[in-house]
Structure 1
Amino acid sequence: MTDAHVWTVDDHLHGASPEHVALWREVAGLIEACGPVEVVVHKTTITFKGTRRGFAGARPDAGGVVGFLDLMRPVDTDPRITSVAPYTHRLFVNHFRVRSTTDLDDTFAEWVREAYAVGAGAHLD
């Protein structure tokens, strides 16, 4: 019997360009600046969980950083948002791609804060 691989943050960062690793660290820093989070690593992404639920995920790829933010609204008018899908009747999974630190502006930071609130259960009110 073989042991199942336990995925780590380093697994996702390994082999990525230094610029995209640095960009991922910036995204993670924005998320972690909101308050306490639990980092849970899966084969497909690095997920950030709040006190109630996961609310964001991100990983570097060949084009920058891809990820998702769970929000109580769709964001469909911004080129950083690549797709939006309803998750529940109150939540929308907003998939994003950022290519440089200029993409991490005040608007992106506000989306992160909104997602963090979802992680704390804001969608249950």
Structure 2
Amino acid sequence: MTDAADAEWTVARHLADKPDFAIALYHRFIEMVEAVGPFTYAVSKSTITLKGKRRGFAGAHPVQSGLRGYFDLQRVVSDARISSSAPFSNRLFVHYFRIESADQLDHRFAEWLREAYAVGNGAHIR
């Protein structure tokens, strides 16, 4: 049986009681994705997932030390912000990231989000 409180996860609930700088990082992350194109939210207890026309492509949630999340790419990238990456399918790799300061949400990170957004719209099945 599902507890009613578990069924009511919202963006606001994820932001509650988090440090201001972590909330600011989350909002900057969302702005970066909004600059790429429209998406929908799927909010669960573990994360705030961003979905394209075909599938979820990224997700994030603020934590005490900053922002944690993931994005799906058709290739593996290596960077200090990426804590781990693993095959999700034959054509996709999930990348888990840790962001602790606004300067880490740079042009390179924006490019990864553009690539992930394309995955959310089906680029990996073409």
Same fold? TM cut 0.5 = yes
Q: 1:88 to 1:102 in 2, by over 3 A?
A: same
Q: 1:2 to 1:103 in 2, by over 3 A?
A: closer
Q: How does 1:83-98 map to 2 (within 5 A)?
A: 83-98=84-99
Normalising to structure 1: TM-score of the pair?
Answer: 0.95
> Which residue of 64, 67, 74 corresponds with 2:76?
74
3-state SS, counterpart of residue 109 of structure 1: helix
The alpha carbon displacement at 1:117 in A equals: 0.2
Matched residue type, 2:83: T
Segments of structure 2 that go 5 or more residues without pairing to the other structure are none
Give the Cα separation in 2 of the matches to 1:24 and 1:75: 22
The alpha carbon displacement at 1:3 in A equals: 5.9
The alpha carbon displacement at 1:2 in A equals: 8.1
Give the Cα separation in 2 of the matches to 1:110 and 1:4: 38
Give the Cα separation in 1 of the matches to 2:90 and 2:4: 35
Structure 1 segments, 4+ long, off by >3 Å, are none
Q: Are positions 1:45 and 2:28 aligned together?
A: no
Counterpart in 1 of 2:100? Answer: 99
State the Cα deviation string for residues 39-97 of structure 1 (Å, max 9, x = none): 11000000000000000000001111000010001112x10000001000100000001
3-state SS, counterpart of residue 90 of structure 1: coil
Give the Cα separation in 2 of the matches to 1:106 and 1:57: 18
State the Cα deviation string for residues 16-35 of structure 1 (Å, max 9, x = none): 00111011100011112211
Counterpart in 2 of 1:57? Answer: 59
Q: Percent identity?
A: 52
State the Cα deviation string for residues 86-116 of structure 1 (Å, max 9, x = none): 0001000000011111001110000000000
Matched residue type, 1:23: L
C-alpha RMSD of the superposition: 1.3
Matched residue type, 2:90: H
Normalising to structure 2: TM-score of the pair?
Answer: 0.94
> Which residue of 15, 21, 30 corresponds with 1:13?
15
